[in-house]
Structure 1
Amino acid sequence: MYVSISQKMGQLPPDYKEEMLASIREEFSASGKTIVVLDDDPTGTQTSHDVTVLTSWRVGLIAEELKRKPPILFILTNSRSLPEKEAVELAHEIGYNLKEAVNASGREIVVISRSDSTLRGHFPAEVDSIASMLDMTEATIVLVPAFIEGGRFTIGDVHYLVENQELVPVSDTPFAHDVVFGYKHADLKLWVEEKTKGRVKAADVGSLSIDDIRVGGPQVVKEKLMACANGSIYIVNAASYRDLEVVAMGLIWAEKSGKKFLYRSSATLVPIRAGMESGKIFSPPKEATNSVNGALVVVGSHVPKTTSQLNWLLKNGNYQSIEVNVAEILQSVEPQLEATAISRQTDEWLSAGKNVVIHTSRQLAVGTDSESSLRINASVSDFLVNIMKSLTVRPKFIVAKGGITSSDLASKGLSSEKAVVLGAVIPGVPVWQMDRESKFPGIKYVVFPGNVGDEAALDEVCRKLAG
Structure 2
Amino acid sequence: MTIESASRPSDQVVSRSVALSAFPAETDVSAAAVAASWRPERVLVVLDDDPTGTQSVSQLPVLTRWEEADFRWAFALESRAVYVLTNTRSLGPLEAAARNREVVANALAARGEREIAFVSRSDSTLRGHFPLEPSVIADELEKAGSHTDGIVVVPAFPDAGRVTINGVHYVSSGSDELTPVAQTEFASDATFGFSRSDLPGYIEEKSLGQIPADSVIVLDLGLMRSGAEAIASQLENASERALIVADAVVESDLRALSLGLALAEERGKRFLYRVGPPFVRARIGQAERAPLSSSELYGGNEAPASHGLVVVGSHVAQTTSQLERLLQDGHASVVQIDVGALLDPERRSDEIAAAISSATSALREHEVVVHTSRVLVRTESGQDSLAIARSVSAAIVAIVQGIMKAGRPRYVIAKGGITSSDVAAHGLEIARAIVLGPLLPGIISAWRPVGGPADGIPFVVFAGNVGDDDALASVIKVLSADEGARA
- TM bracket, shorter-chain basis: over 0.9
For 2:439, the equivalent position in structure 1 comes to 425
Q: Does 1:57 align with 2:66?
A: yes
Query: Which residue in 2 is equivalent to 1:326?
Result: 339
**Deviation of the 1:60 alpha carbon:** 1.3
Aligned residue for 2:293, secondary structure, equals coil
Amino acid in structure 2 at the alignment position of 1:379: S
Alpha-carbon distance in 2 for matches of 1:223, 1:284 = 46
Q: CA shift at 1:83, angstroms?
A: 1.1
Paired with 1:431 and 1:204, the residues of 2 have a C-alpha distance of: 40
The separation in 2 between residues aligned to 1:68 and 1:457, in whole angstroms, is: 32
Distance 2:19 2:75 in 1: 43
Name the residue aligned to 1:168: 179
Distance 2:440 2:78 in 1: 28
SS of equivalent residue, structure 1 residue 307: helix
Match of 1:311 among 310, 324, 337: 324
Do structure 1's residue 382 and structure 2's residue 394 form an aligned pair?
yes
Q: How does 1:342-361 map to 2 (within 5 A)?
A: 342-350=355-363, 352-361=364-373
The residue number in structure 2 matching 1:300 is: 313
Q: Is the 8 Å Cα contact of residues 67 and 107 (structure 1) preserved in structure 2?
A: no
2:378 matched to 1:366? yes
Alignment of 1:191-270 (within 5 A): 191-214=202-225, 216-270=226-280
* Residue 96 (structure 1) aligned with residue 105 (structure 2): yes
Equivalent residue for 1:39?
48
1:332 Cα offset (Å): 2.8
Within 2, Cα distance between the matches of 1:300 and 1:35?
Answer: 30
What CA distance in whole angstroms lies between the structure 1 residues aligned with 2:346 and 2:66?
Answer: 33
Q: State whether structure 2 residue 400 is matched by structure 1 residue 400.
A: no
CA distance in 2, matches of 1:213, 1:344: 55
Matched, 1:111 2:118: yes
**Distance between the aligned counterparts of 1:184 and 1:120, measured in 2?**
12
CA distance in 2, matches of 1:223, 1:334: 62
Change in CA separation of 1:225 and 1:280 when aligned onto 2, cut-off 3 Å = farther
Q: Does 2:202 match 1:181?
A: no
> How far apart, in 1, do the equivalents of 2:435 and 2:76 lie?
19
How far does residue 86 in structure 1 lie from its aligned partner after superposition?
Answer: 1.2
Structure 1's unaligned 5+ residue stretches are none
Check conservation: 2:297, 2:458, Cα contact below 8 A. no
TM-score (norm. length: structure 1): 0.95
How far 1:328 sits from its partner (Å)? 1.1
Moved more, 377-386 or 204-213: 204-213
Q: Is the 8 A contact 2:332 2:366 kept in 1?
A: yes
Kindly indicate whether the alpha-carbon contact (under 8 Å) linking 2:61 and 2:435 is maintained by their aligned counterparts in 1: yes
Matched residue, 2:428: 414
Q: Is the 8 A contact 2:20 2:165 kept in 1?
A: no
SS of the residue 1:452 aligns to: coil
Deviations 1:133-191 (A, max 9, x none): 12255331000111111111111111111134201110111111111001110111111
Amino acid at match of 2:366: K
Paired letter, 1:261: F
Instruction: Tell me how far 1:333 sits from its aligned partner.
Output: 3.0
Runs of at least 4 residues off by over 6 Å: none
How many residue pairs were aligned? Answer: 460
Preserved contact between residue 296 and residue 356 of structure 1 (Cα < 8 Å): yes
CA distance in 1, matches of 2:450, 2:340: 35
Report the residue type matching 1:384 in the other structure.
I
Aligned to 1:434: 449
Distance 2:306 2:248 in 1: 45
CA contact (8 A) 1:42 1:407 kept: yes
SS at match of 1:117: coil
Residue 328 of structure 2 aligns to which amino acid in structure 1? K
Bigger mean CA deviation after superposition, 167-176 or 281-290: 281-290
Letter in 2 for 1:441: D
Output the CA distance in 2 between the equivalents of 1:334 and 1:365: 17
Per-residue CA deviation, residues 265-305 of structure 1 (Å, 9 max, x unaligned), is: 00111111111014542222299543222111110000111
Distance 1:166 1:51 in 2: 34
How far apart are the structure 2 equivalents of 1:155 and 1:70?
A: 32
CA distance in 1, matches of 2:108, 2:349: 38
CA deviation after TM superposition for structure 1 residue 433, in Å: 1.1
Equivalents in 2 of 1:337, 1:442: separation in Å?
A: 31
Deviation, structure 1 residue 331: 0.5
For the residue of structure 2 that corresponds to 1:168, the secondary structure is strand
Query: Which residue does the alignment assign to 1:149?
Result: 159
Instruction: Check if 1:67 corresponds to 2:76.
Output: yes
Contact 1:49/1:280, CA 8 A, preserved across alignment: no
8 Å CA contact 1:140–1:230 kept in 2: the answer is yes
Letter of the aligned partner of 2:446 in structure 1? V
Contact 1:147 1:266 (8 Å CA) reproduced: yes
- Aligned 8 A contact 2:414 2:420 in 1: yes
